[in-house]
Amino acid sequence: SQQGEEDPQALSIQEGENATMNCSYKTSINNLQWYRQNSGRGLVHLILIRSNEREKHSGRLRVTLDTSKKSSSLLITASRAADTASYFCATRIIQGAQKLVFGQGTRLTINP
Amino acid sequence: KAGVTQTPRYLIKTRGQQVTLSCSPISGHRSVSWYQQTPGQGLQFLFEYFSETQRNKGNFPGRFSGRQFSNSRSEMNVSTLELGDSALYLCASSLTQPVYQETQYFGPGTRLLVL
């Protein structure tokens, strides 16, 4: 099963509103990363947060990490039509193979 | 710097055939990972190569194999194709090991359709 599970699976908001996506994972992690994918294309790295960090900002993005709850959230403020995409969280687990384990993603639609 | 490139971008094959996909990492990147993306299973890790050595492998059958060349370019091969192999195959490169410290940079993917 997937390490990361994202919620909601789909989100539709108006341009200018904020969008929040959540990610939960099961095992201990080294870091958690968020990626964006536009319509079946390659993934674009957005932000990486390490297990000893609680919050990180990058432009209009804000990521939080709660290792006690094994969860993370991605907030996109002042959304734009160009933010329409699928967003994935990916975890780098400590035990086992050193690989990125992706969640199923949240499909975000920004309506003009 | 040029990004990660993958060739071909689209591919149609029939069951039983084999296919080879190619990935050229960002210049200077020595680690290359491969992922399979399908609507049902999502993004799944296939394998990771560093300095021509396979460092990690996902839970895929032996029909899926790969290699990395001295210039860090990587290929993956799928033999005896099955319908379920239809997917977007993504390659990602990163600068150093241990890879878990680094951001991965993804290519545009190769969309494989098996008929």
Per-residue pLDDT band for A71 (boundaries 50, 70, 90) equals very high
For an interface test with A, which of B9, B49, B93, B104 has the most A Cβ atoms less than 10 Å from its Cβ? B104
Contact with chain A for residue B32, Cβ under 8 A: no
Cis peptide before A8 (omega within 30 of 0): yes
- What's the whole-number average pLDDT of chain A? 90
- Averaged pLDDT, A70-91: 96
> With an 8 Å Cβ cutoff, are B4 and A92 in contact?
no
CB distance B70 to B110 below 8 Å: no
Instruction: State how far residue B73 is from chain A, nearest Cα, in angstroms.
Output: 18
pLDDT of residue B111: 97
Contact with chain A for residue B66, Cβ under 8 A: no
Nearest CA in chain B to A96: B56
B91-B92-B96-B97 Cα dihedral, nearest 10 degrees: -70
Contact with chain A for residue B43, Cβ under 8 A: yes
Place of tokens 């959540």: A22
> With an 8 Å Cβ cutoff, are A44 and B106 in contact?
yes
Tokens encoding A3: 């390490």
Strands B87-94 and B110-114: antiparallel
Residue A1 above 50 pLDDT?
A: no
Contact with chain B for residue A104, Cβ under 8 A: yes
C-alpha–C-alpha distance, residues B90 and B105, integer Å: 10
Residue B48 above 80 pLDDT?
A: yes
Contact with chain B for residue A40, Cβ under 8 A: yes
CB distance A105 to A43 below 8 Å: no
Nearest CA in chain A to B57: A97
Q: Please give the C-alpha separations between residue A65 and each of A44, A58, A73, A93, B97, in angstroms, as whole numbers.
A: 20, 15, 7, 15, 24
DSSP secondary structure code for residue B25 in this structure: P
Cα-flanking dihedrals φ and ψ of residue B101, to 5°? -85, -15
Nearest CA in chain B to A90: B43
Between A77 and A93, the more confident residue is A77
pLDDT of residue A100: 85
